[in-house]
Amino acid sequence: MTVIDANRMHEIETRYPEYFHRSFRQRFGGLMILIATLLYSLYAVWFFDLPKLFTEAHWERVGIYLSQWVSYDVQPEFRIEGDGSIDIHYPRFSPLGDNPHPDWLVNNPDGSITVSISGTSRNVTVSKSETIVTAHGISVPVDVSSGAPKVVGPVPGWMTVYDDNVLADLGFAGNVSISVDRVKIRKRFIGWANFIFDTQSSFFDKPVGEVVSLIVSGPRIKPDQSNLSLAFDDIWNNSEWQHGDVWTKLFQTIVMAFLGTLLGSLTAFPLAFLAARNITPNRLLNQILKRFFDFLRSVDMLIWALFLTRAFGPGPLAGSGAIFLTETGTLGKLYSEGLENIDNKPREGIKSTGAQTVLVHRYGIMPQIVPIFVSQTLYQWESNVRGATIIGAVGAGGIGLKLWEAMRTNANWENVAYMVILILIVVFIFDTASNALRHRLMGTKAH
C-alpha cells in the first residue's frame, strides 16, 4: 500500500483543484435540478388542478369514439301500428341501402320480429304487446301494451327505466330503446361500411367475384361507359367516404407544404448571407435581418394562417403563405448560423488568389454549407407536411379542413380514422424519404 505524505497531497490538490475544491453549484447542482423539477411538477398539478380534471373527465367517451373509428352501426326502427302490425324503417342514409333485407332480422310465424344483436347470446324480439331483450344470460320482457313501457320482473344493471322509454345497453354490440309504439335498435358491426362502393353504385352489395367478373368480361352496365371506368367513378365519387375529395385535399396539403418550404428556403438563402456576421461585416444589417427572422418565426404558423385566411379567404393559398412566412424566419436563422460556423480557411485561400466575391462564395463557402442547408430544408419540409394538416383546420385548405369537418359532426369517426391513417402514411413516407436523402447528402449511414 502506497502512503501519501502531506506535501504530496498538497501537490495533488494544487494540480487538480477542480476535484478537491468544487464549487457549491458543482457539488449540489444535480440535486438542485432534481428538487426544482419536483417542485415545478407539484406546481403544475396544483395550477391545472389535475386531480379534479382526471376525476371529472368523461373517460367512457374514449372507448365510444375509438369503437366508432373501427365500426359502424345500423339503426332499424320498429313501429307498432294500431292494428298490431310492425313496420320496419331504416334511416334515410342507411349503410344497407334503400331496400335492406339483413339476415340478422327474422320474421317469426306469430308476427313478431327477432333481431340478433350479437350472435345468439344477445337478441331482441319485438311483438305488439311486449319486447323481450336477451343479454348477459337472461331474458327481460318489457310490457308495451299499457300507457308506458314496464319491465316485467327485476331490472338488471344494464337496463335503465325512464318515464316514457326503457334503454338497454348491450355494450359494443349496440343498444335498444323501447317505448310504447316503437322500438329503436342500434346494431354495431366491425369494419367500414361501403368503403369501396356506396349504396348508389351499380356494384353495391355484389360479391367480390361478381364485381371482378363484371369489370373484366361482363356486359356493360352503362352502354356509353366501360365497367372499369364506371367502377373507378363509383369509387372516386363514393358519397359516404368521398375518396376523390379526400385524396385531392391530401394532395393539396402536400403541395402546400412543398410550395411554402420551397419559397421560404429560396427567400431565406440570400438573406442568410446578409445576416451572417462573417460574410457581411455590417452589424446593423446583421441585427435587422436576425430580428426579422425572429419576428417571422415567433408568430406561430397557425396565427399566420388565421391572418392570411382573413386576407385571401379560405384555401391553399393562405396555407402556403403561412408556411412560407414561418419557414423564411426559421430557415433564415438556421442558414445564417450555419454560415457563421463555417471553416474560413478555404474561403481565405480562394480570396488570396484575387478571386471575385461570387467565386469566393461559390468555391469557399458553398461546398461546406450545401449539404447542411439541404438537410435542414428537407427536415422542415417533412415537418411542414404535418403542420399543413393543422393549419388546414382553420380554413387554410387541405385535408386538415376536411378532417375538422368530419370531427365537428361528432358522428363520422370512421371517416376521421380513414383520414388520420392517410396522414400517418404520408408522414411516414416523407419521413423515410427525407431521412434517406439527408443521410445521403451528409455522407452518413442511415439506421
Q: Categorize the per-residue pLDDT at 447 as very low, low, confident or very high, splitting at 50, 70 and 90.
A: low
Q: Rounded distance, CA 2 to CA 107, Å?
A: 100
Report which of residues 355 and 73 the model is more confident about.
73
Q: Of 5-9, 66-70, 270-274, 443-447, where does mean pLDDT reach its minimum?
A: 443-447
Residue 18 has pLDDT above 70, yes or no: no
Q: Categorize the per-residue pLDDT at 187 as very low, low, confident or very high, splitting at 50, 70 and 90.
A: very high
Tell me the average pLDDT across 404-408.
85
% of the chain beyond a pLDDT of 90: 35
The 8-class DSSP code of residue 177 comes to E
Q: Which three cell numbers stand for residue 150?
A: 314496464
Residue 399 has pLDDT above 80, yes or no: yes
Residue 430 has pLDDT above 80, yes or no: yes
Q: Categorize the per-residue pLDDT at 443 as very low, low, confident or very high, splitting at 50, 70 and 90.
A: low
Residue 358 has pLDDT above 90, yes or no: no
Q: Categorize the per-residue pLDDT at 31 as very low, low, confident or very high, splitting at 50, 70 and 90.
A: confident
The one-letter amino acid code at 189 reads F
Residue 446 has pLDDT above 60, yes or no: no
Cell 317505448 sits on residue: 179
* Residue 184: Cβ within 10 Å count: 17
Residue 3 has pLDDT above 90, yes or no: no
* Residue 180: Cβ within 10 Å count: 16
Q: Look at residue 391 in the predicted model and tell me its pLDDT.
A: 86
> Partners of 86 in the beta sheet?
80
pLDDT tens per residue, range 287-330: 999 999 999 988 888 899 888 888 888 888 888 999 999 999 99
| CB 70, CB 191: distance < 8 Å | yes
Q: Look at residue 212 in the predicted model and tell me its pLDDT.
A: 92
Rounded (10°) CA dihedral 375, 377, 383, 385: -120
The dihedral built from the CA positions of residue 276, 281, 283 and 284, taken in this order, carries a sign that is negative
User: Which contiguous run of DSSP H or E holds residue 125?
Assistant: strand 122-126
The one-letter amino acid code at 201 reads S
- Non-local CB neighbours of 202 within 8 Å, separated by 6+ positions: 221, 222, 230, 234
Residue 333 has pLDDT above 80, yes or no: yes
Q: Look at residue 120 in the predicted model and tell me its pLDDT.
A: 76
Tell me the average pLDDT across 413-432.
89
Q: Look at residue 217 in the predicted model and tell me its pLDDT.
A: 85
pLDDT tens per residue, range 162-186: 988 999 998 888 899 999 889 999 9
Tell me the average pLDDT across 100-111.
89
> What are the Cα distances from residue 254, in Å, to 18, 205, 276, 303?
55, 34, 32, 20
**Mean pLDDT of all residues belonging to the chain:** 86
% of the chain beyond a pLDDT of 70: 93
Q: Look at residue 340 in the predicted model and tell me its pLDDT.
A: 85
Cα Rg of the chain (Å, integer) = 34
Q: Rounded distance, CA 175 to CA 184, Å?
A: 8
> What are the Cα distances from residue 129, in Å, to 85, 141, 147, 184, 307?
11, 10, 12, 16, 62
Q: Rounded distance, CA 15 to CA 292, Å?
A: 49
